[in-house]
Amino acid sequence: MINNQFILNKFGFLGADFSTELQKHGIITNVKAKTEIVRDGQKNKYVPFVIKGSVKVFSLNDGRELIYYYIRPNDSCLMTFSSIFTDCISRVYAVAEEESEILLVPVSTVHEWLIRFPEINRIFYHEYDKRFSDVMNMVNEAVFHRLDRRVLSYIKQQISLTGNNPIKLTHREIANNLGTSREVVSRVLKKIENEGEITQTKEGIKIPINENVSQF
């Protein structure tokens, strides 16, 4: 049974008939943290919607990750959705950042819904706008921001996503997500720690409580 509050929040404007369809065709799955949900080159059989948790969407190049965006509760993966209009082949990876609850809707069902419930397109137009902004922000950070600002931004983003401060992040994990090396990240973390913007302990990396992380 799909959480009724989730249906109301995400699909309530589509009416009772759609809610019945969703309960009939939707599949709820619980995914453990760091579990791969979609991989590059895989044929997409479902369109995912995150009910709880968060999912990272990225590409890989020589073992380094390029993060496009994070899927948060009530969001879907736009790149997965867009693939169903072509060959249904994924061009990205999607991995659960934390333990997550995900609604999977078969691709064939989504195709039917687009005809029977054309208002559903509002959801995907909204997703497109959000993801386009995410990708633009990613490009701006990569091109215009110094690496120390990008590292600090990434840490704040992870704290905002998980609610954990301090947060457990390895230097290797940060390097992979920002497309650099572990040694460079270690130097950068030491620099911003000396500047008082973070502290590193056995519990993880902590942002001082007077720092604003909610904007991420």
Residue boundaries of the structural domains of the chain:
4-117, 143-206
Exposed/middle/buried for residue 17 (C-beta within 10 Å: 0-12, 13-18, 19+):
exposed
- For 21, residues 6+ apart whose C-beta sits below 8 A from its C-beta are 109, 113, 117
Which has more confidence, 144 or 192? 192
- What pLDDT is attached to residue 142? 62
Domain 4-117, what architecture?
Answer: Sandwich (2.60)
Q: For the segment 125-160, what is each residue's pLDDT rounded down to a tens digit?
A: 888 888 777 777 766 666 556 888 888 988 998 888
Mean pLDDT to the nearest integer, 180-186: 86
- What pLDDT is attached to residue 101? 93
Q: Count CA atoms within 13 Å of residue 15 on its CB side.
A: 7
Question: Which residues face 76 on adjacent strands?
Answer: 49
The string over 73-98, giving b where at least 16 C-beta atoms fall within 10 Å of a residue's C-beta and e elsewhere, is eebbbbbbbebbeeeeebbbbbbbbb
Q: For the segment 39-53, what is each residue's pLDDT rounded down to a tens digit?
A: 999 999 999 999 999
CB atoms within 10 A of CB 164: 16
Collapsing DSSP to helix, strand or coil, 173 comes out as helix
213: which 2 tokens? 């992380």
Residue 29 has pLDDT above 90, yes or no: yes
- Give me the DSSP letters along 113-129: HHHH-GGGHHHHHHHHH
Q: For the segment 77-103, what is each residue's pLDDT rounded down to a tens digit?
A: 888 888 888 888 999 999 998 899 999
- What pLDDT is attached to residue 215? 42
Mean per-residue pLDDT of the chain: 85
Mean pLDDT to the nearest integer, 10-15: 87
Residue 32 has pLDDT above 90, yes or no: yes
* One-letter amino acid for residue 171 of the chain: H
CATH of domain 143-206: 1.10.10.10
- % helix / strand / coil in the chain, to the nearest 5? 45, 25, 30
Q: Are 88 and 107 in contact (CB under 8 A)?
A: yes
Mean pLDDT to the nearest integer, 29-58: 92
Residue 69 has pLDDT above 50, yes or no: yes
| Confidence bin at 164 (pLDDT 50/70/90) | confident
Task: Record the pTM.
Answer: 0.67
- What pLDDT is attached to residue 141? 64
Residue 137 Cα distances to 107, 134, 156, 191, angstroms: 29, 5, 15, 24
